């Protein structure tokens, strides 16, 4: 499975460079953190995370602004960025990976099911919009794989 080898690469790269990572997850429900912590030795670089399934937790634990939620909705690039920045600051980490979106069933406030935002914040910042048509489990797995894969690519590029 590509996610496992990419997670291994992430952990090894972070170890060798003395960097750390945290997660702020919504629709993935801890799946990104789970993928990273399957790698032996991940405790040296994975500091923790927040599963912020509700707007209240996003605001209270990650510092997402209510005005951002009201203006852009919970499924937005802006909220994903604030989640990642809040997690990075909360844990004092080099990197943060955030996921937010709609796994389904059904759309949310005019945003279609399968819409996912991923934000990575650290020495390199990147956001990614996904539109997935694979049912609830497929959307969640696609988001996890994309978050891990994107972060692995960022790290491999950064260290060249």
Answer whether residue 160 shows pLDDT above 70.
no
d(CA 135, CA 105): 8
Q: For 129-158, how does the pLDDT look when each residue is reduced to its tens digit (9 = 90+)?
A: 999 998 999 999 999 999 999 999 999 998
- Quote the percentage of the chain above a pLDDT of 70: 98
CATH superfamily of 2-158: CinA-like (3.90.950.20)
77-99 average pLDDT score: 98
Task: Find the DSSP H helices in 2-134.
Answer: 2-17, 31-37, 55-62, 66-72, 77-91
Cα torsion 11, 13, 19, 21: sign: negative
97 beta partners:
23, 120
Whether 79 and 115 have beta carbons less than 8 Å apart is answered as: no
5-31 average pLDDT score: 97
What's CA 140's distance to the chain center, in Å? Answer: 11
Answer whether residue 1 shows pLDDT above 80.
no
Name the one residue in this structure whose structure tokens are 């406030």: 109
What pLDDT score was predicted for residue 3? 82
What pLDDT score was predicted for residue 86? 98
Answer whether residue 18 shows pLDDT above 80.
yes
Answer whether residue 68 shows pLDDT above 60.
yes
* Band of residue 14 on the pLDDT scale cut at 50, 70, 90: very high
Answer whether residue 59 shows pLDDT above 80.
yes
Whether 53 and 128 have beta carbons less than 8 Å apart is answered as: no
């Amino acid at each position: 499975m590509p996610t496992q080898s990419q997670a291994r690469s992430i952990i090894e790269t972070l170890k060798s460079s003395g960097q750390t990572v945290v997660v702020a997850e919504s629709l993935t429900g801890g799946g990104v953190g789970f993928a990273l912590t399957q790698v032996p030795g991940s405790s040296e670089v994975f500091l923790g995370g927040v599963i912020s399934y509700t707007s209240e937790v996003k605001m209270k634990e990650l510092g997402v602004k209510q005005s951002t939620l009201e203006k852009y909705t919970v499924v937005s690039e802006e909220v994903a960025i604030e989640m990642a920045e809040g997690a990075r600051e909360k844990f004092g980490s080099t990197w943060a990976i955030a996921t937010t979106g709609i796994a389904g069933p059904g759309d949310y406030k005019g945003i279609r099911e399968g819409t996912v935002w991923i934000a990575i914040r650290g020495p390199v910042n990147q956001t990614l919009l996904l539109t997935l048509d694979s049912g609830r489990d497929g959307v969640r797995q696609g988001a996890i794989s994309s978050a891990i894969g994107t972060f692995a690519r960022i790290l491999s590029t950064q260290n060249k």
